Amino acid sequence: MLNLNEIMKRIILILAVAISSAIFVFVLWKSQKSPKTISPITQEKPLSVEANKQETEAQYDDQSGFSFNYPSDLKLDSIPSENENQYAHIILKSNDKEGSTEIVIEDTKESSIHDWAKKNKVVLDNATSVSFANIKGQQLTDKNQFMTIGIDQGIIFKIISQLGNESDYWKAVHGDIISTFKFKESSLETPVNSNTESQNPSQSDDVEFTEEEDLSD
């Protein structure tokens, strides 16, 4: 006959086997049921975002010899100027978003950004250094405006975004312009007003933009 200790050992062994079997069946059932909802979601979103970015990007080429990229759903206006000291005046606007981005390139008498800021009462305390197309500049937010200012060889480059209530959107547009702004490989004389040039040829300045030119301070 079996004593009490042997009976208890057999009972414990049977319970251990039963519990192990139950755990194994549960884990197997769980592993077969869960994977169905994972993989399709994580793969499609980055691809669609990248494709959308490529489809909506446009490039602007200016006759002064520079170019930049911007969202193609924006309206771009290149404003003619009778001022022979202004090389470009461009405004980007959206049909459904408040705000705009304005680009002005012109001659300046200020020799540094600090001189320009002082004259225009702009505080540079929180400005950060930035470089675009080898031009060293300053970037700051002032009165709901996000601006990048650069001065080199007597020419000021002003990229100013009116943020409105779409701060993130216009800062992204602004960043795209800065990161893609470049000069053409060939050397081009900066254009002046054609009427003024024909009447006063001696007053036009020979300013050239080249990619190899060192525009750093």
Average pLDDT over residues 145-161: 94
Is the domain spanning 59-209 CATH 3.40.1000? The answer is yes
Whether the Cβ atoms of residue 152 and residue 170 lie closer than 8 Å to each other: no
Q: What would the pLDDT profile of 184-209 be if each residue is shown by its tens digit? A: 875 334 443 333 333 344 443 444 44
Q: Which residue has the higher pLDDT, 185 or 59?
A: 59
Average pLDDT over residues 64-71: 93
- Strand boundaries in the chain, DSSP class E: 57-61, 66-71, 75-78, 86-93, 100-107, 128-132, 135-142, 145-152, 155-162, 182-183, 188-189, 208-209
- pLDDT of 142 reads 83
Residues of the chain with pLDDT > 70, as a percent, come to 70
Average pLDDT over residues 99-127: 92
Task: Indicate if the pLDDT at residue 97 is higher than 90.
Answer: yes
Extents of the domains making up the chain? 59-209
What predicted TM-score, i.e. pTM, was given to this entire model? 0.61
